[in-house]
Amino acid sequence: MAKASVSPSAEERLILTKKNRRWDEVRGRSLVTICAVIMIAATIAVTVFLAQKGLQSFTVNNINPIAYLTSANWNPTGGENASFGIFPFIFGSLAVTFLSALIAAPLGIGAAIFMSEIAPKFGKKVLQPVIELLVGIPSVVYGFIGLVVLVPLLRDNFPGIGFSLFAGVIVLTVMILPTVTTIATDAMRSLPNSLRQGSLALGATRWQTIRKVLIPAALPSLLTAIVLGMARAFGEALAVQMVIGNTRDIPGSIFDTAGTLTTIVTLNIGHTTYGSIENNTLWSMGLILLIISFLFIFVVRYLSGRRKI
Partner 1 sequence: MNYTADKPTETRTEDELAASITRASKKEVVLDVKDLSIFYGNNEAVKRANMGIEKNAVTALIGPSGCGKSTFIRSINRMNDLIPSSRAEGEIIYDGINILRNDINVVALRSEIGMVFQKPNPFPKSIYNNITHALKYNGQKNKKVLDEIVEESLRKAALWDEVKDRLHQSALSLSGGQQQRLCIARTLAMEPQILLLDEPASALDPVSNSKIEELILQLKEDYSIVIVTHNMSQASRVSDKTAFFLNGDVVEYDDTKKIFTNPSETKTEEYISGRFG
Partner 2 sequence: MNSRITDRIATGVFYTIAAIMVALLLYLFYFILSNGLPQVTWDFLTSPSSSYQAGGGIRDQLFNSLYILFITMIITVPLGVCGGIYMAEYAKPGKITNFIRTCIEMLASLPSIVVGLFGLLIFVNITGWGYTIIGGALALTIFNIPVMVRVTEDAIRSVPKEQKEASLALGITRWHTIKTVILPYAFPGILTGAILASGRVFGEAAALLYTAGLSTPTLDYGNWNPFAENSPLNIFRPAETLAVHIWSVNTQGLIPDVREVANGASAVLVIAVLVFNLLARWLGSVIHKKLTAGK
Closest approach of partner 2 to the CB of residue 114, in Å? 4
Count Cβ neighbours within 10 Å for each residue of 34-56 and write b for 16 or more, e otherwise: eeeeeeeeeeeeeeeebeebbeb
Residue 160 neighbours by CB under 8 Å, 6+ apart:
154, 253, 255, 256, 257
Residue 65: other Cβ atoms inside 10 A:
11
Which of 36, 66, 201, 309: binder of partner 2 (CB under 8 A)?
36
Instruction: Count residues near partner 2 (CB under 8 A).
Output: 87
Which residues, in sequence order, are bridge partners of residue 75?
83
Could you say whether residue 75 binds partner 2 (CB under 8 A)?
no
**Which one among 73, 269, 272, 277 touches partner 2, defined by CB under 8 A?**
269
Closest CB 90 distance from partner 2, rounded Å: 15
Is the Cβ–Cβ distance between 131 and 175 less than 8 Å?
A: no
Least separation, in Å, of the C-beta of 233 and partner 2?
A: 10
Q: Per CB under 8 A, which of residues 17..36 are in contact with partner 1?
A: 17, 19-21
Q: Does 215 bind partner 2 (CB under 8 A)?
A: no
Q: One symbol per residue from 136 to 165: x for binding partner 2 (CB under 8 A), - otherwise; what is it?
A: xxxxxx-xxx-xxx----------------
94 binds partner 2 (CB under 8 A): no
79 versus 203: smaller Cβ distance to partner 2: 203
Smallest gap from Cβ 79 to partner 2, in A, equals 25
Which one of partner 1, partner 2, none interacts with residue 237, CB within 5 to 8 A by kind? partner 2
Give the N- to C-terminal CA distance of the chain in Å, as an integer.
Answer: 56
- Give me the 248-267 binding string for partner 2, x by CB under 8 A, dash otherwise: --------------x--xx-
Contact pattern for partner 1 over residues 77 through 96, marking x by CB under 8 A: --------------------
User: Is the separation of the CB atoms in 257 and 279 below 8 Å?
Assistant: no
Helices (H), the chain: 3-6, 10-11, 23-54, 56-59, 65-70, 87-113, 120-122, 128-136, 139-145, 151-157, 165-189, 193-201, 206-208, 215-235, 238-244, 261-268, 277-307
What backbone torsions phi and psi does residue 199 show, to the nearest 5 degrees? -70, -45
Q: What is the contact surface with partner 1 in residues (CB under 8 A)? A: 1, 3-4, 9-11, 13-15, 17, 19-21
